[in-house]
Amino acid sequence: MSFTAQDVKMLREKTGAGMMDCKKALEETNGDVEKAVDYLREKGIAKAAKKATRIAAEGIVDSYIHMGGKVGVLLEVNCETDFVARGDQFKELVHDIALQIAAANPLYLAKEDVPADVVEHEKEILRAQALAEGKPEKIIDKMVEGRIKTYYDENCLLCQKFVKDPSKTVEEMVVSATATIGEKISVRRFVRYEMGEGLQKKTENLADAVAEQVNKMKN
């Protein structure tokens, strides 16, 4: 059974779930809106969506050190109450996300955080690749849009496949936890450190600067 944009809108109004979640639910249920509602509830998406507008000002900052001190992560995840923040389930979720950051090395939190100039630069590269592959001009833009999604999936934390369960994204894991715990949960920010990262470039820059100074002295 097919479905229309009106069906997607109706489902969104009923559940509060996002547009893409509603579309996927209708695809999974052959366009049956009522079954799609049940699908979203079973997945915890509908319940979590209703909490999306709440304020999450509590939470914890977690740290994770990996590989004998070679990689370190600091991560802030928010919830609505201190009671939940002190709970084992919430702490386990936060730690799992810290593990994700250490393992998958995301550059951004969400796709909305990727600077516009970075996105445009990636699109230019992808467009050039498609042309080099001999793809027809008329389909290149559509190909680039598809491939830029892959860029988001690889470099944005919430879009990444969860390392412990690749059948879910990190965002889906957070949505599921929101439904289970009963409070809005949001990943606010993170930083990842890797031992020696950037030192080679700095050393090269220093060497260039020294060489330049020596040349000046010779002259």
- What the chain holds in terms of domains, given with CATH numbers, is 5-49 (1.10.8.10), 58-194 (3.30.479.20)
Over the chain, what is the mean pLDDT? Answer: 83
Tell me what pLDDT residue 214 has: 45
pLDDT at 178: 85
Residue 111 has a CB neighbour count (10 Å cut-off) of 16
| Cβ burial, residue 110 (10 Å; 0-12/13-18/19+) | middle
Local structure of 87: helix, strand or coil: coil
Q: Is the pTM of this model over 0.75?
A: no
Residue 191 sits at φ, ψ, to 5 deg, of -140, 140
Average pLDDT over residues 43-63: 72
> Could you report the per-residue pLDDT of 134-162, keeping only the tens digit for each?
888 888 888 888 889 999 999 999 999 99
What is the arithmetic mean of pLDDT over 195-214? 60
At residue 85, the pLDDT reads 93
Q: Is pLDDT at 7 greater than 80 in this prediction?
A: yes
Measured distance CA(35)–CA(26) in Å, rounded: 8
**What span, in angstroms and rounded, lies between the C-alpha atoms of 106 and 156?**
5
pLDDT at position 196, please? Answer: 83
User: Residue 96 is inside which H or E element, if any?
Assistant: helix 88-104
